[in-house]
Amino acid sequence: VLILTSPVYVYHCTGSMKAWLDHYGWRWIVHRPEEKMFSKRAVVISTAAGAGMKSTNNDMADSLSFWGVPKIYKIGFGVHAVSWKEVSDKILAKIEKKTDSIAAKLKNDSFEPKVSLKGRMYFTIFHFANKKGWNPADSSYWQAKGWTEKKRPWKK
């Protein structure tokens, strides 16, 4: 399970999280995906004093999706506080209930390799692009993996 967290910063993830996600852009499905990612599950978590959790979680989830992670859970809470000590018991109980729910789902997941519809679409497009050699570094990677032929990273 991959867990990414970020406080909300101007309705998005922090600059350091964005830089980290950008650093791994070469692992996107359209470039050189790691086949292990098709077996992973992920949780993205954001908090804010007020709002912006949805867009912050989407920043992190988009990269995970393009890495091939087929199931991504999102947790975002406006905690109405600037310090964890100031978060109300009611909000803390909601956070605990949500995290327990996601933990139960993860515990019951088989973690068999899968691919989302979006992932399959991008993989198919770049299967053909890499077969034609559109980007030498990516194409040689795909060819070495057998993905320009019939092999797929989510199939045994």
- pLDDT tens profile 71-123: 999 999 999 998 889 999 999 999 999 999 999 999 999 888 889 888 899 99
CATH architecture, domain defined by 2-110: 3-Layer(aba) Sandwich (3.40)
Contact between residue 25 and residue 62 where contact means Cβ atoms under 8 Å apart: no
Which uninterrupted H or E stretch holds 7? strand 2-7
| Cβ neighbours of residue 96 closer than 8 Å, sequence gap 6 or more | none
| Predicted TM-score (pTM) of this structure | 0.91
The answer on pLDDT for 34 being more than 90 is: yes
Q: What is the DSSP string of 20-84?
A: HHHHTGGGSTTS---GGGGG-EEEEEEEESSS-HHHHHHHHHHHHHHTT--EEEEEEEE-S-SSG
Convert the pLDDT of each residue in 109-132 to its tens digit.
988 888 988 889 999 999 999 999
With the C-alpha atoms ordered 47, 33, 118, 25, is the resulting torsion angle positive or negative? positive
* Alpha-carbon torsion angle 13, 10, 30, 133, nearest 10: -120
What's the rounded Cα separation, in Å, for the pair 136 and 15?
A: 31
